[in-house]
Chain A
Amino acid sequence: MALPAHISSTVANPSSARTPIYALVGNPNCGKTTLFNALTGLKQKVGNYPGVTVEKKIGTAYSQHGQPITVIDLPGAYSLAARSPDEAVTRDVLLGRRADTAQPDRILCIVDATNLERNLYLLHQILDLGRPVILVVNMMDLAAAAGLTVRISRLEQALGIPVIACEAVNGKGLIELKVAMSRPDLPLARHAWDVPAAIAPAVTELQASLVSHDRKAPFLARAEALLLLTDQDSVRVAGSTPLHARTEEILRSWQKYWEGEGTDWAGALVNSRYDAIGRIAADVILQTGETGPTASDKIDAVVTDSVWGWAVLGAVMTLLFISIFTLAEPPMNWIDDQTAVFANWVQRVMPEGDLRDLITTGVIAGVGGVIKFLPQILILFFFIGLLESTGYMARAAFIMDRLMSRVGLNGKSFIPLLSSHACAIPGIMATRTIEDPKDRLVTILVAPLMSCSARLPVYLLMIAALVPGDRVPLLTKVSVMILMYALGTLGAFGFAWLFKRTLLKGAPPLMIMELPPYRLPRVKDVALNMLERGALFLRRAGTLILGISIILWFLSAYPKAPAGATDQQQLAQSFAGRAGHLLEPAIKPLGFDWQIGIGLISSFAAREVFVSTMGVVFNADATDDIAPLRHAMLAAKWPDGRPLFTPLVCFTLMIFYVFAMQCVSTIAIVKRETNSWKWPLFQTAYMTGTAWILSFMVYQTGTALGF
């Protein structure tokens, strides 16, 4: 087969063409990620747009002739009139408003063939940009199954740009797409549409100002002018260049004028776009088959039913929850064991000394502590990936929205909060699905109040110390446990309600989104996403967590006790031990002494460390059975002879653990996810403050009542 002239010329003279940068854009749920993965394979770099927690994904695709093509995968967007940080980043990159990202040369716009009209809205805005665009019509097979024929050649004629029919899931159309992408020249769209007469003068004036004051290219300036007129109170994000004051002024004066006239300018713009789209769609889409209820409709009749819906949601969440707990446990134990084995090996081969201690108990234990989070993170994100790609995630948000809106959040906060019951780290990482930045922040702030699995050993030890006898009756154990979980959950919702009313007050978030048709998940995409999450955690939070763990280790290992001292004596005179003494006046009103203080401090490494620290403090081995530790604790006394661990103190300590922020890993991930130290510090303060106040109230009331 002879190659078309323009392709063979690129082969003959590869240096003539700089590798073009493509931006991949599309609506949510149109198969954009699948296409990106299919185009770039594992050649992807995942990072962050500076200043905002929106993921930046750049990959390299190769043309049929092995030439690299850079593809930036922009976040899914319904419109360039941004309503979320994700959409704002997409808009800003396309408009060249971000200094950190080169403006793409060409745009690859992907649309869902089964939902062409609404998907073409974004394309219509993108064509305004005056850049070469390739349109990918994805899910052609699903459209055919729904009785829809999309006449690609008619669409190509109407738009004047290359249009590629595609099934990204099975790779159909990829070769044609790559051929089109490596074309040295692409035609610009025939893209004439009627801006409403009342608005046209404003567009011209804004365009002129954007060209002269904001130094924009004329085409781009017109696109931006149109967008400014749709984008009333658009989302602004860090890293986006602000407009020139003169441009802002022109915009405001027009808006004021129209408001006086009663002109709905933004609505009129949307209407004229849809008019233009409607004309194209009428010519391009043929409805051939029946339009009875689809398979999705039938599934939804059960999944969102007012009775069955709860059962399905309950079952899915129980499965998710149990999986995180049970499936993560063996690999977590394995990581613990391997860490210990490795530390022992280093212990044997290295000469005794400070360096050996640093490596074995500081670094190796610290790295082990970081890796230990991976199983839970991977499992949670595997599930979230499945739920998202099948379309169930949107249904869970749909069902839970009413409940979550009572505290001012929306349905999307539900899964991150629920996952935080296993561990707040993956839970907080999962908040990225929440578009509204304030909602996301509130969810992050309250997530660690959901009792996590690291608190379990502490609760268990305290319950054991609380009741007489070596065996705790199951009923007691379960009811105290439920009480603690309920307290944490109540606290989380209470604070969410409070924060949404005070600190992070804002308009109730919109819940305007598509409920996409159910689709079979693509395991490759789900697995890739899961691995990316894991890698991001290690890279972004892992180092910080490791650093703090080493500091905590140092505080308990130094200054060194004289040779021959026991672990108990070493800890007692270490910095941590001294800090315990320093802390005692502050925690005495809660019924805690300095020894418990050491436990509270050591909990910052991970809450469950409290148990082993108590083992060292009271010189009792708690590795296999907590009974010896329980006995040692019950024998512990204040200097004046009163017992230390009274049932009231045990109960107060549990309350403290429910509310206090004692986890450096959570602090580290919150720092990473909010891009500042302000929020993790605020979170630590409000949680620990609440813990102190509630513990104080419980202990003092209990004491007054004679417990």
Chain B
Amino acid sequence: MAATIKLSELAIGASAVVREFLKTGSASIRLREMGLLIGTRVTLVRTAPLGDPLELKLRGYNLTLRKTEADTVLVELTT
């Protein structure tokens, strides 16, 4: 299995598959309710002009979340 990185470390335009949630709690549950689950493929579309929050594409829609939340999600790069 390829090495995992934090979702917040993903390069703009890169795609990855979610592998692990490092934290439980309301933010992590809400992310999963929004469809960001283990095995879900995400693309980092862009960051906001000041670098935070992030914009992801998953399941055909665009989701925004802060870096602090993205720090708690591990992803595996896909090619």
- What is the interface of chain A, defined by CB distance below 8 A to chain B? 78-79, 81, 83, 114-115, 117-118, 121, 148, 230, 232-233, 264, 266-267, 270-271, 274, 296-297, 300, 304-307, 309-310, 394, 398-399, 401-403, 405, 508, 510-517
* Contact between B64 and A512, CB atoms less than 8 A apart: yes
A114, A118, A230, A402: the one within 8 Å of B48 (CB): A402
Asked if B78 is at the interface (CB within 8 A of a chain A CB), the reply is no
- Which 9 residue pairs spanning A and B have beta carbons closest together? A402-B50, A306-B49, A515-B62, A270-B32, A115-B61, A79-B33, A118-B35, A309-B49, A402-B52
* Contact between B28 and A267, CB atoms less than 8 A apart: yes
Q: Using Cβ atoms and an 8 Å threshold, which residues of chain B touch A297?
A: 45
* Contact between A512 and B34, CB atoms less than 8 A apart: yes
Output the least CB separation between A5 and chain B (Å): 40
B24, B26, B33, B55: the one within 8 Å of A264 (CB): B24
Bound complex: CA of A83 vs CA of B69, how far in Å?
15
Output the least CB separation between A600 and chain B (Å): 41
Q: Using Cβ atoms and an 8 Å threshold, which residues of chain B touch A274?
A: 32, 35, 37
Q: Using Cβ atoms and an 8 Å threshold, which residues of chain A touch B51?
A: 402
B29, B35, B53, B60: the one within 8 Å of A267 (CB): B29
User: For window 15-52 of chain B, which residues contact chain A by CB distance below 8 Å?
Assistant: 21, 24-35, 37-38, 45-46, 48-52
* Contact between B59 and A115, CB atoms less than 8 A apart: yes
* Contact between B37 and A79, CB atoms less than 8 A apart: no
Q: Using Cβ atoms and an 8 Å threshold, which residues of chain A touch B32?
A: 267, 270-271, 274
Given A267-B28, A271-B32, A511-B64, verify A117-B53 contact (CB < 8 Å): no
In the complex formed, the residue of A with least CB distance to B52 is: A402
* Contact between B24 and A267, CB atoms less than 8 A apart: yes
Given A232-B29, A510-B27, A510-B30, verify A515-B49 contact (CB < 8 Å): no
Bound complex: CA of A264 vs CA of B68, how far in Å?
20
Bound complex: CA of A106 vs CA of B31, how far in Å?
29
* Extra 6 A-B pairs, beta carbons < 8 Å, given A267-B24, A510-B69, A514-B64: A78-B33, A121-B35, A264-B21, A270-B37, A402-B52, A515-B55
Q: Using Cβ atoms and an 8 Å threshold, which residues of chain B touch A401?
A: 48, 52-53, 66
Most A CB contacts (10 A, CB to CB) among B38, B59, B68 go to: B59
Q: Using Cβ atoms and an 8 Å threshold, which residues of chain A touch B52?
A: 401-402, 405
Q: Using Cβ atoms and an 8 Å threshold, which residues of chain B touch A305?
A: 49
Bound complex: CA of A324 vs CA of B11, how far in Å?
41
* Contact between B33 and A81, CB atoms less than 8 A apart: yes
- What is the interface of chain B, defined by CB distance below 8 A to chain A? 21, 24-35, 37-38, 45-46, 48-53, 55, 59-66, 68-69
* Contact between B29 and A230, CB atoms less than 8 A apart: yes
Given A271-B37, A304-B46, A304-B49, verify A512-B27 contact (CB < 8 Å): yes
Q: Using Cβ atoms and an 8 Å threshold, which residues of chain A touch B69?
A: 510-512
In the complex formed, the residue of B with least CB distance to A297 is: B45
In the complex formed, the residue of B with least CB distance to A301 is: B46
Q: Using Cβ atoms and an 8 Å threshold, which residues of chain B touch A81?
A: 29-30, 33
**Can you identify 30 A-B contacts, CB atoms within 8 angstroms?**
A81-B30, A115-B61, A117-B35, A117-B60, A232-B29, A264-B21, A266-B24, A267-B24, A267-B32, A274-B37, A297-B45, A300-B45, A304-B46, A304-B48, A304-B49, A305-B49, A307-B49, A310-B49, A398-B55, A401-B53, A401-B66, A402-B52, A403-B50, A510-B26, A510-B69, A511-B53, A511-B65, A511-B69, A512-B63, A513-B64
Q: Using Cβ atoms and an 8 Å threshold, which residues of chain A touch B50?
A: 399, 402-403
Bound complex: CA of A266 vs CA of B37, how far in Å?
12
Bound complex: CA of A402 vs CA of B49, how far in Å?
9
* Contact between B53 and A514, CB atoms less than 8 A apart: no
Output the least CB separation between B52 and chain A (Å): 5
* Contact between A398 and B64, CB atoms less than 8 A apart: yes
Q: Using Cβ atoms and an 8 Å threshold, which residues of chain A touch B21?
A: 264, 267
Bound complex: CA of A510 vs CA of B33, how far in Å?
14
Bound complex: CA of A233 vs CA of B26, how far in Å?
7
Bound complex: CA of A118 vs CA of B63, how far in Å?
11
Q: Using Cβ atoms and an 8 Å threshold, which residues of chain A touch B27?
A: 510, 512
Output the least CB separation between A682 and chain B (Å): 28
Bound complex: CA of A305 vs CA of B65, how far in Å?
17
Output the least CB separation between A287 and chain B (Å): 9
Bound complex: CA of A69 vs CA of B5, how far in Å?
53
Q: Using Cβ atoms and an 8 Å threshold, which residues of chain A touch B35?
A: 117-118, 121, 274
Q: Using Cβ atoms and an 8 Å threshold, which residues of chain B touch A118?
A: 34-35, 59, 61
Bound complex: CA of A514 vs CA of B57, how far in Å?
10
In the complex formed, the residue of A with least CB distance to B57 is: A297
* Contact between A78 and B34, CB atoms less than 8 A apart: yes
Bound complex: CA of A512 vs CA of B64, how far in Å?
6
Q: Using Cβ atoms and an 8 Å threshold, which residues of chain A touch B28?
A: 267
Bound complex: CA of A121 vs CA of B59, how far in Å?
12
* Contact between B49 and A399, CB atoms less than 8 A apart: yes
Q: Using Cβ atoms and an 8 Å threshold, which residues of chain B touch A78?
A: 30, 33-34
* Contact between B26 and A514, CB atoms less than 8 A apart: no
Bound complex: CA of A31 vs CA of B37, how far in Å?
26
Q: Using Cβ atoms and an 8 Å threshold, which residues of chain B touch A309?
A: 48-49
Output the least CB separation between B40 and chain A (Å): 9
* Contact between A79 and B62, CB atoms less than 8 A apart: no
* Contact between A512 and B48, CB atoms less than 8 A apart: no
Q: Using Cβ atoms and an 8 Å threshold, which residues of chain B touch A267?
A: 21, 24, 28-29, 32
Output the least CB separation between A63 and chain B (Å): 34
Bound complex: CA of A513 vs CA of B66, how far in Å?
10
Bound complex: CA of A115 vs CA of B59, how far in Å?
7
Bound complex: CA of A233 vs CA of B29, how far in Å?
11
Bound complex: CA of A305 vs CA of B50, how far in Å?
10
Given A309-B49, A398-B53, A399-B48, verify A83-B60 contact (CB < 8 Å): no
Output the least CB separation between B36 and chain A (Å): 9
Q: Using Cβ atoms and an 8 Å threshold, which residues of chain B touch A270?
A: 29, 32-33, 37
Q: Using Cβ atoms and an 8 Å threshold, which residues of chain B touch A399?
A: 48-50
* Contact between A511 and B66, CB atoms less than 8 A apart: yes
In the complex formed, the residue of B with least CB distance to A146 is: B60
Output the least CB separation between B11 and chain A (Å): 16
Given A306-B49, A398-B55, A401-B52, verify A115-B26 contact (CB < 8 Å): no
* Contact between A114 and B60, CB atoms less than 8 A apart: yes
* Contact between A508 and B68, CB atoms less than 8 A apart: yes
Q: Using Cβ atoms and an 8 Å threshold, which residues of chain A touch B26?
A: 83, 232-233, 510
Q: Using Cβ atoms and an 8 Å threshold, which residues of chain B touch A300?
A: 45-46, 55
* Contact between B62 and A512, CB atoms less than 8 A apart: no
* Contact between B25 and A514, CB atoms less than 8 A apart: no
Given A270-B29, A398-B53, verify A514-B48 contact (CB < 8 Å): no
Output the least CB separation between B8 and chain A (Å): 13
